Structure 1
Amino acid sequence: MVHVLSSRVLLRPSDPERSRAFYGEALGLAVYREFGTGVDRGTVYFLGGGFLEVSGRSAEPAGPAMRLWLQVADCRAAYDELRARGVEVLRPPQREPWGLVEMWIADPDGVRIAVVEVPEDHPLRYRP
C-alpha cells in the first residue's frame, strides 16, 4: 500500500478567474496556497480533510461524472449563506431516504456539488 501523505482534487476550469471567484468568494473556501502569476496562477483551497486545486485551463469542462461532496455542519444555514452570496441552488436541502440532508449546487463549469449534513441521529455519527 502506498502511504498517502496528502491529497487534492485537481480542477482545470474553462475560465480560471470565474472559478476562483466561485470557490473563493461565493463558496467562501479558505486559501491553502497560491502559486504562479497572472492567468496561469493556481489556487489551492482547504476542503475539509483534503484540498481543491483550481489551476490551468481546459477547453472542455469536467465530464458529467465529476462530482464534489462537501460536508457541512448545518445544511440549512449553508443554503441561506450561499443564496445570500448569489449561488444558484439546483436543489434545496432535503432529508434523503438514507438519512443525510443534501443540497445540490454547481460550479461555473457545471461541476455538480453535493452539500451534505450528517444529522446527529445518523449512523455515520451515532454508534450505540
Structure 2
Amino acid sequence: MEYLSSRILVRPTDPARSLAFYRDVLGLAVHREFPGGTVFFLGGGFLEVSGEGSGENSGTALWLQVRDLVATVEELRGRGAPVDREPRLEPWGLMEAWTADPDGLRIHLVEVPADHPMRRDPR
C-alpha cells in the first residue's frame, strides 16, 4: 500500500469566516481553489491518532509545528486569533500553545526544542 498525499478536511459552519481565518489569521498559503472550497498548504501534513474524544469532533485537533512559538502566538494574537493556552513546556518536552478556529477546532502550535529526541533521533 502506498499513500501519495494527505489532506485534513474541515467542514465549517460559516465557510467565508473560516476561509478568512485560515488564510488571513493563520496565514496559510493557498494551494488551489475550486468551486466551494480552498486547499491550503499545511507543512508536511500528518495525521495523529491519540487520546480519546467525547464525540462531536471534540477529540479532533490540528497540530502545527512552528519555528518560534512565542513569536507565532504574538503574531496570531495581533491578527485576532484567540490564545486559549499560552506557550509552555510540556512534560513530553515540546513547547505548546493552543488557539482555535472559528468553529472551536483546537489548534496545537508546537515548537520542538533543539535538544528534543524528535530532532536527535536519526531514524
- The match for 2:73 among 73, 79, 83 is 79
Partner of 1:102: 96
Partner of 1:42: 37
- Secondary structure of the structure 1 residue equivalent to 2:117: coil
2:2 is aligned with 1:7: no
Following TM superposition, by how much is the alpha carbon of 1:97 offset from its aligned partner in structure 2, in angstroms?
A: 1.1
Identity %: 61
- Aligned residue-pair number: 113
Q: What is the RMSD computed on CA atoms of the aligned residues?
A: 1.5
- Secondary structure of the structure 2 residue equivalent to 1:76: helix
Partner of 1:118: 112
Gaps of 5+ in 2: 47-55
Following TM superposition, by how much is the alpha carbon of 1:63 offset from its aligned partner in structure 2, in angstroms?
A: 1.7
Task: Please identify which structure carries the higher strand content.
Answer: 1
CA displacement, residues 52-81 of structure 1 (integer Å, 9 cap, x when unaligned)? xxxxxxxxxx62111110001110110111
The residue type equivalent to 1:120 in the other structure is A
Q: Which runs of 4+ in 1 moved over 6 A?
A: none
Gaps of 5+ in 1: 52-61
TM-score by length of structure 1 reads 0.84
2:62 is aligned with 1:68: yes
TM-score by length of structure 2 reads 0.87
Partner of 1:56: none
